[in-house]
């Protein structure tokens, strides 16, 4: 069975830095992130439009480059969760987790018996098409799969402690934009309502020994949020990094050649 790398990362509070892939599902992307020093990649299927064939291919690219992958599925539905896992997702991020009951249903979809009720498929992508004793393989898969529950609603914040207490949830991950919108303050990340919510989720994660993660837009935010208790720091996304670097370079060339900004 493949190694349980994300599980090991999630069970420490040391810094883990990764990147968000929402656009560039290209064969070389795994090696690019590996050579950049990423500890993990968050591969988005909620807002990107990526479908199953793309997920299956991209997981092989990241496996080849030895980069642990968290796949964010589009919903809490069983078929989204189980398919991503069968295709080889080591980490699974599920959006809009609002209650402990929802978290437990997700765990039941993620884990094989006796920890859950995931449909059994062995000798396929998630176990590298290998054979072996059934009970050993089920136990290994249960150990390897790592669950990231997104807290991105006022309901999720109110129930953060109960969600964190669910066995099988490995990390509480703040969806900052959706959370601010749910609180009625879209994009106001300095608003006390938002910062108080962040503190509540952080307290819940630490009380139950769970990891704590978030996407960050820039380096300064990443440094500040790590100091504030986040240990999974996902730096920006492929499309925004590309746009920013290209804009900076094109602008500099125009200014250097013509003396005029675009």
pLDDT digits (tens, 9 = 90+) for 116-152: 999 999 999 898 899 999 999 999 999 999 999 999 9
Average pLDDT, the chain: 96
Q: Give me the pLDDT at residue 251, please.
A: 94
Among 114, 164, 146, 140, residue whose Cα is nearest residue 9: 146
Q: For the chain, how big is the Rg over CA atoms in Å?
A: 19
Whole-model pTM: value is 0.94
Q: Contact 19/239 with Cβ under 8 angstroms?
A: no
Question: Is 80 an active-site residue?
Answer: no
> Dihedral through CA 88, CA 91, CA 96, CA 102, nearest 10?
80
pLDDT by residue (tens digit) across 59-104?
A: 999 999 999 999 999 999 999 999 999 999 999 999 999 999 999 9
Whether the pLDDT of residue 44 is over 90: the answer is yes
**Per DSSP, what are the bridge partners of residue 94?**
149
Task: State the pLDDT confidence band at 1, using cuts at 50, 70 and 90.
Answer: low
pLDDT by residue (tens digit) across 56-67?
A: 999 999 999 999
Q: Pull the structure tokens for residue 228.
A: 């504030």
Whether the pLDDT of residue 155 is over 80: the answer is yes
CATH superfamily label, 5-237: Phosphoenolpyruvate-binding domains (3.20.20.60)
* DSSP code at position 71: E
Catalytic position from the list 19, 47, 80, 126: 47
Calpha distance 94→89 (Å, rounded): 13
């Amino acid at each position: 069975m493949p190694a349980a790398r994300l599980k090991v990362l999630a069970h420490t509070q040391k810094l883990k830095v990764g990147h968000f892939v929402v656009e560039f599902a290209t064969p070389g992307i795994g090696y690019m992130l590996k050579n950049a020093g990423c500890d993990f990649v968050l591969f988005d299927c909620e807002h990107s439009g990526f479908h199953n064939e793309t997920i299956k291919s991209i997981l092989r690219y990241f496996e080849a480059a030895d980069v642990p992958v968290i796949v964010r599925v589009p919903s809490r539905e069983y078929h989204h969760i189980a398919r991503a896992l069968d295709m080889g997702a080591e980490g699974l991020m599920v959006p809009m987790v609002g209650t402990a009951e929802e978290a437990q249903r997700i765990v039941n979809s993620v884990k094989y018996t006796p920890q859950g009720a995931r449909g059994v498929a062995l000798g396929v992508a998630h176990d590298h098409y290998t054979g072996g004793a059934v009970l050993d393989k089920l136990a290994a898969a249960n150990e390897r799969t790592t669950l990231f529950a997104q807290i991105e609603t006022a309901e999720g914040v109110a129930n953060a402690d109960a969600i964190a207490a669910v066995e099988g949830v490995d990390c509480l991950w703040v969806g900052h934009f959706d959370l601010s919108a749910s609180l009625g303050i879209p994009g106001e990340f300095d608003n006390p309502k938002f910062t108080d919510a962040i503190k509540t989720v952080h307290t819940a994660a630490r009380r139950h020994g769970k990891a704590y993660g978030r996407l960050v837009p820039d380096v300064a935010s990443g440094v500040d949020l790590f100091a504030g208790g986040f240990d999974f720091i996902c730096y920006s996304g492929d499309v925004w990094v590309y746009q920013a670097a290209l804009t900076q370079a094109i602008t500099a060339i125009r200014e250097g050649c013509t003396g005029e900004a675009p």
